[in-house]
Structure 1
Amino acid sequence: MTILQFCNGSLSPTSPLGNTISRNLINCFRVQKSALDVLAALSEKKDCDTLIGSLFDVLLAYLQSPNTSPTVLKKTFQATSKWLVHLQELSSSNSQWQQTEKILEGVFVVLQKRLCSPCWEVRDSSLEFLTAMVKCLRDQKEFRQCLLSSEVLRLTENLLEDPESYVRASAVTGVGHLALITCFAPESPVIGNQYNKESIVAKLQEILSTDSEGFPRRAVISIFTKWLREGCTGRLEDTEQFVSRVIQTVEHDLDWEVRLGGLELVEVFCSQTICQLAQCPYAPVSSSVTSSTPQNELLQVFCRAKLFGFLFGSLCDCDKPVGQRACDVLVGLRGHFYPMSTLESPQEIEDSPAGRGIAWLQRTLRQGSLAQNFPTDGGEGVDFQDPESMMLALGAIDLLELHDELNKSSDHVEESPQSLLQDILATVGTIEDNEVDCY
């Protein structure tokens, strides 16, 4: 703490040695960052809280100072969030509520100012700090009171339209976590129509479908998945519609990480729906009961949500991680509907009404990413929204073989030094200088 005070000039030296130290340390951001790292680490140690009031005075001085560089400010935010968590633990045991409330008020005053900074790195760090606080302190009454009485909610929502994509992404994450307090908590306070659930969901869905940068769209799909995990999307019918809307947006996204996030959302939805509708989600289901009501109902839910078109289409994605994740989800679903891991006989497939379409689907999936314009709207006789057809597809298509194929590394095609050199040349270009460097 003394070193940090020397660095920002708040400690006046009283000796020649002090003057020398002060001259060397003033505005030395490397020392400041190291000292803040140590302070953050000390929050996890026992018996390091005797000077906690003075410690927050130092941290707040750094948060308030216009001379604090963006990188030092980020470290200050990180140390402050760790000590706020520690302070919460102390308050619950020592009844230091008054001190906690005063410190939180000071933090929120500074945060409001920093969220309006002209420097985008500062706005970004401020949003990350806010998200970290919400994650750790959202159940604390004093924290919620200080948050709701400040302008932080409005300022965070305004940053959804920030010109910098990193800031928009952090704002999406912040708004998503704040919604757990303002919209989804059982005792959600009434704080105005602009913070209702429908409004927040609509804003994030708009970002997912219209933002020109990948970072904010990735943040949206990540937040939607978090909401789904925490059961924030309501009844099964509402969740079904929510997931369906999201994946219809995501499947056309040019960013493979967004498409991958959509598959994670689908995986969570499938797992939760099976738990809700199946009689015993962890017990094996014999083939004799695969036509039982829960199984049919599951298939109908998945088909109405248009999951299968998205999953089978993703198997042919040009980005391998997307195909691998889709295959994992389909293998998991097949394990539920066909627990004995037996494929349908070719004759049964051929004799079924959907047999021709399923046979086409098998041939298309073997082409992988070479399959062009994969139809998810019932083309070639495949109805991805028909439960019986999808049950047949899960039992007929050798997903394990596809899984092995997708997990092969690229060198299985040609493993040789020449192949490696060709890959390098293809990456850097074929101008003469590069060719010489390569060899």
Structure 2
Amino acid sequence: MQGLLSMLKHQQALDFMCGNGRIKLILQLQNDRSLFVACLANQLLVHILHFLTSSNVTDGSDVVTSSESSLRPDCVSVSSEIMSAVVEALSSEEHPKVLQGLRLLSLVVAQCGEPIRSTLWKDVLVPLEVLVNRGSESLIHTLITVLEAAVRTPLLSQLEYKVEELLEAMLSDGNRKDCFQCAALIVKLEKCPEVVKRKATDIILLPLQCVSTQPQAKKEINVVLKEQLSQKASCISLLMQSLSSLAQLAHTKYFCGDASIQSITSSVVLLLRMCSGHCPSSLLHINSFTHLIGCCKVQRCGLDTLGALSVYEENLDLSKDIFALLLDYLQRPDSHATVLKKTFQAMKKWIVFSVLPDLQQFISRDLFPVLEKRMCDVRWEVRDSTLEFITQLTAAFNGNSDFTEALHSSGMVSVLLSSLADAEGYVRASAVAAVGQAVLVSNSTLLEEALVQMMAILSQDTEGFPRRAVVQAFTSWLKGSHLLTALESSLSSVLSLGGNDFDWEVKMHTLELAEVLMEKTLTCCPYAVQDFGSSEDTRFTQALMKFKDFGLFELLFNSLFDCDRPVCERACALLVKLRTLTAESADLDHSALVLNVCGNRWGDEVQKRYLKASACVTNGVTGSDEGTDCSLHCTRGISLPKILQILDLDDMQRMLTLSSDHVVNSPRSLMEDILSAAQQSEENIVDCY
């Protein structure tokens, strides 16, 4: 099947496929027991129809027609055979056949042009209407996919194709249990008639409104909802659909439907209170209340929605209630770790967008004490989420002196520093990020304290995440110009430790640090101009000497020959940039830029190329290594510009951009790799297939 797909780029292959009953064979393979084969059969059929369409001369217009007159006579029978099979599949009583027919239909509508698309749609319209009105729950997703494909085409704008009518039928009048699922899918469609989307939005709001208020809705819908909300599984499912859809709609014009933003927000707040066991006496009669107490799934969705609602000024009057709710969730000892994480995310959004008059007082008096307690939580996930929140909060209030003062006076900085020694590696990494952000908004005293512990982590920590975080913290500090001088004494150690780390991501972050260092140092040198004057050359030479003292060149050359390809690629790119700069300088002091190439892992390659180039010049030999023995010759010092010149960086860069696929690329090699990783067990051989 894959081979046939590749062949179908050619007309001769198409002629071959369309003859001797081969289309019928592919149609049979649509129902193959292997999902892979069935999907390939669909792709092949669509490709054939697309080929038939594209191989015809068109006038470039996208007007929908329902005629096959523009197809060549020999193509009509093939397209008719495929389209008849789709109609037959949709009319079948066998669920797998219907499913495959719908999948093929959605692909044809999305990928094929006219007249195939409109002709097929006209043929399937009757069985499609039957399927939509039947309301089979197992077909909802696939039916929506078909209609979504149609919405994106000119089919939508022509009434005879009934696309909008079918969408409305999917929503029905609320009597079907699956109308809420349909509505949840329809509101996600990028292009959809406004009337349909608003109707879907109103349906989506109903479960939330029915639980938290007494909606003035259709009696029939209330009957359906009452039945579903009285059962725990369907109640939770409906509310999650409602909340997650509202979170996605929060920034669109369809968000409110017929309700107000404030009423929706109040409903979400009330629902979250019910989940924590608080319920107004007027709503105690609602059967779903008992299903919601302690329900993490609804809490997570509700907090996501509440966070999305933070951007609306209409919710200003509800700010105090919302902050009280979120603080209550953070204080509750029985709050699930994932619920706490969502609470932090919602809290951050409300703090950033809020205009609460006493916000700073709330943070220092109410929030920080709770955070300090959460930093002692026995669950590492909670400590980790707390540190992430503090990092985001500190970044959001960067430049706010009141917040910085509160951060120090509350003792939070001491908590952050102590977290650098946490028993869990993930938490240590998050603590590094939090301290790093605090340093950016604080004084040099904190930097001195942080440097001691961070250098210890980089040199001694046994886990990669904290070490990566340390190098990233240095990079963020270096980007802040006011910290450049304070960091100079530590940079050589960081570059050395990071460049020799056994974790490739630490090495990548170290190269990122090196790049920022290069940019920061060279900003004072007008190195981008073509003709350097003597004073500019001197300044440029001094900058390069500074890099040499930091060990930056040692890092780049070591990384150039690293065992991890991404590391080599990044180092090579930086060296190419450096080569360009040195080439533009007219009179560099080469003697000040001599590097020792002996006794390190990149020196052998440099010496080999250097001696080969020298032999070529001396003996007039080209392309020969004769007489060149690195073991007998050791040129200890070579200047940086000379090294950059003799290394064929362009060729190295070209080779590094190639993946291993340019050597071996076959299904067999993939299977061999998977089986090797799976240790050749019989069970895994089946899994690989």
TM-score range, shorter chain: 0.7 to 0.9
Q: 1:398 matched to which residue of 2?
A: 648
Q: Distance in 1 between matches of 2:535 and 2:677?
A: 50
The aligned counterpart of 2:635 is 381
Cα separation, 2, equivalents of 1:287 and 1:86: 50
- Uncovered stretches (5+) of structure 2, i.e. residues with no partner: 1-268, 586-593, 611-632
TM superposition shift of 1:249 = 1.1
- Measure, in 1, the Cα distance between the counterparts of 2:643 and 2:650: 13
Aligned match for 1:275, one of 520, 523, 535: 523
- Of the three residues 282, 293, 300, the one matched with 1:14 is 282
Shift of 1:114: 0.7
SS at match of 1:400: helix
Note if contact 1:228-1:268 (Cα within 8 Å) is conserved in structure 2. Answer: yes
Unaligned runs of 5+ in 1: 185-194, 341-351, 366-378
Query: What is the aligned counterpart of 2:669 among 419, 427, 432?
Result: 419
Q: Distance in 2 between matches of 1:16 and 1:50?
A: 26
CA deviation after TM superposition for structure 1 residue 120, in Å: 1.2
Q: Determine the structure 2 residue equivalent to 1:64.
A: 331
**Pair 1:4-2:272 in alignment:** yes
Match of 1:249 in 2: 497
Q: 1:353 to 1:153 in 2, by over 3 A?
A: closer
Question: 641, 653, 657: which one pairs with 1:407?
Answer: 657
Cα drift, residue 139 of structure 1 = 2.2
Partner of 1:233: 483
Bigger radius of gyration among the two: 2
Q: 2:402, 2:650 → 1: CA distance?
A: 53
Distance 2:536 2:361 in 1: 59
Q: What residue in structure 1 maps to residue 345 of structure 2?
A: 78
Verify the 8 A CA contact 1:285 1:336 in the aligned structure 2: no
Moved more, 20-29 or 60-69: 20-29
CA contact (8 A) 1:56 1:103 kept: no
What SS does the aligned partner of 2:351 have? helix
1:276-301 per-position Cα deviation (integer Å, ceiling 9, x unaligned):
2x1x24x3334887992123212211
Output aligned runs, 1:318-333, within 5 Å. Answer: 318-333=563-578
Match among 382, 385, 390 for residue 122 of structure 1: 382
Paired residues of 2:440 and 2:480 also in contact (CA < 8 A):
no
Distance 1:124 1:16, change over 3 A: closer
The match for 2:443 is 183
Amino acid paired to 2:565: K
Q: AA paired with 1:17?
A: H
Q: 1:314 aligns with which of 559, 565, 586?
A: 559
Matched, 1:111 2:365: no
Q: Contact 2:310 / 2:353 at 8 angstroms: preserved in 1?
A: yes
Cα 1:113–1:364 shift into 2, 3 Å: farther
Counterpart position of 2:410: 150
For the residue of structure 2 that corresponds to 1:284, the secondary structure is: coil
Q: Give the match for residue 301 of structure 1.
A: 546
Q: Structure 1 residues 203, 146: closer, same or farther in 2, change over 3 A?
A: same
Between stretches 162-171 and 290-299, larger displacement belongs to: 290-299
Q: Which amino acid aligns with 1:414?
A: V
1:101 aligns with 2:357: no
Residue 331 of structure 1 and its aligned partner are, at CA, apart by 1.1
Distance 1:182 1:295 in 2: 33
Structure-2 change in CA distance of 1:290 and 1:148 (3 Å): closer
Which amino acid letter does the alignment assign opposite residue 680 of structure 2?
Answer: T
Counterpart of 1:203 (choices 444, 453, 458) is 453
Aligned mates of 1:363, 1:180 — CA distance in 2: 46
Contact 1:166 1:216 in 2 (8 A): yes
Q: Aligned equivalents of 1:129 and 1:358: distance in 2?
A: 46
CA distance in 2 between partners of 1:381 and 1:85 (Å): 60
> Distance between the aligned counterparts of 2:327 and 2:337, measured in 1?
15
User: Does the aligned pair in 2 maintain the 1:105–1:146 contact within 8 Å?
Assistant: no
Q: Distance in 2 between matches of 1:69 and 1:52?
A: 24
Q: SS where residue 40 of structure 1 aligns?
A: helix
Structure 2 counterpart of 1:376: none
**C-alpha distance in 1, partners of 2:373/2:596?**
62
Q: 1:376-416 CA deviation, whole Å, 9 max, x = no partner?
A: xxx95354xxxx61111122322111111111010111333
Contact 1:101–1:142, Cα closer than 8 Å, also in 2: no
CA distance in 1 between partners of 2:352 and 2:500 (Å): 41
- Between the aligned partners of 1:290 and 1:413, the Cα distance in structure 2 is 50
Q: CA deviation at 1:431?
A: 3.9
| Aligned CA distance change for structure 1 residues 5 and 294 (closer, same or farther; 3 Å) | same
Change (3 A) 1:252 1:11: same
Residue 3 and residue 360 in structure 1: after superposition, are their counterparts in 2 closer, same or farther (change >3 A)?
closer
- What CA distance in whole angstroms lies between the structure 2 residues aligned with 1:362 and 1:35? 64
Structure-2 separation of matches of 1:255 and 1:166 = 15
Q: Which amino acid aligns with 1:406?
A: L
Question: Aligned residue pairs: how many?
Answer: 388
Q: How far is 1:178 from its partner?
A: 1.2
Q: 1:16 to 1:261 in 2, by over 3 A?
A: closer
Q: What code does the residue aligned with 1:336 have?
A: L
Contact persistence 1:36–1:76 (CA under 8 A): yes
TM-score by length of 2: 0.53
> Residues 211 and 29 from structure 1, CA distance in 2 versus in 1: closer, same or farther, beyond 3 angstroms?
same
